[in-house]
Structure 1
Amino acid sequence: MFIPLHDANSLKHIKMQYVTIGLIVANVVVWLMTTFSSENFAQAAAIGLGYIPSTIYDLAERGPGQILVPDVFTYVTYAFLHGDFMHLAGNMLFLWVFGDNVEDALGHVRFLIFYLLCAIAGAWLHGIVDVNSQVPLIGASGAIAGVVSAYLLLHPRVKVWVLVLMRLPLRIPAWIPIVLWIAFQFVMFAAAGEEQVSWAAHIGGIIAGAVLVVFMRRKGVPLFDKDIVTPRGAEVTLPPPATAPVSPSGPWGRQ
């Protein structure tokens, strides 16, 4: 539907989005390791670290040598694996554009916890919807969906540059493309479209992000851009109120 390019939304509470950058680096490194290694290694990583609902609910078991971490850890590890470059690039672009301001609103540590909880929520809903699936779920989409929904609640009126239909750049309020994107996820989930995409994981992340940001944001950070939040240590000096000069002829302009 749209590709986010840039937002004019400066950081207010942190100097740099260390966690956002760290998550992007981690995802890229893991993708490089799995892409430029043997096919057997990539498959072993997907099976051993991907989220497989049927193994989580004891309906199936991984084969000998396929268990890299305990099943419960795959609620998180799956979110650092990606299939092809476009899968990785799309998720990381969304994280780069929207993640810094959510990290700013939550703080570094709470943002990392928030991100992982959204990933967990995405995997959980995917598993509930398709409990018998033996196909590994991979990708950061659930976590990214949580970041996007949190951004919507925090900064709906901020102008963002988006690329529409891969060719038309537009600068519009953030709520327009994000609401359309969220609606698209629900429509595709209801229509069971594109089996290779876990729409349930997206929705799980969206719901988790919207709920968590309400409770995890910094004290004083508003929702829906209601107020202008002044960074700590900054002082705002208001100019004295202007007074209209009174002419000698009186306040009504007549003698």
Structure 2
Amino acid sequence: MWHKGVPMTQAWVTYAKPDLKERWAELQQRSASDAFEKGAAMASASEGDAVAKIQMALEGPQKILRARTELRETLQKNILKYIAGGHLHGFGYELPRKVSSAPVAIPKAAWAGRCDWTGGALSYRGLEFVDIRLTTNRIRNEILERGNVDTTPTRAPGRPSVKRDIEAAFHGLHEAGEIDPEASQMSHYPKVKRWLELHRPDLEVPPAYISDKTIQKYFAPLFNELKESSKL
């Protein structure tokens, strides 16, 4: 899906509403330097003092640049609304990136972080995503219908289980150096919930409602094994 997406650096214009996209193109065609030259010519012909002349010369280009900034912020905020509403989906590489790394789906919660629209990156609670691309529901659904994405349930029907998810959280945190065998198990539970919130946004049981007892049941065996191996 990443290959079919539009780079984040361009997506806020590509997916803009037609009237706003037209407005953006219009503002891009207006030259701030030309506006400055016209303003400077008018200022030189005026009888005001030096400060007034400078203000007159800058008024035109400032108006253009301010309009661009305001519209750009509006378009970027609209993209975040489309993502929150499930109309757009983000994919990118999670840092640290390796040669074997593959693009991952970016959880909706992560978009509450800091967006670098110029660099196409996103930061959220210590996680870093780069080379981000956005795709629409139509493209996403077409890919799913072609069978290019495995949609097989990860658990058998019945009562929801978070065993695999908690185990995945342990391994993910361990690889990131976030598991400390010398610390208590319970001190890691908030990290587990945060990891699940970001990497398992569609859990039937919201991470915030997973009890410490449930986390302990699946986290403890892996933690104890790591603790024992660290003593060797």
TM-score when normalising by structure 2: 0.26
TM-score when normalising by structure 1: 0.24
Over alpha carbons, which structure has the higher Rg?
A: 2
Q: Which has the higher contact order (CA 8 A, sep 6+)?
A: 1
More helix by share: 2
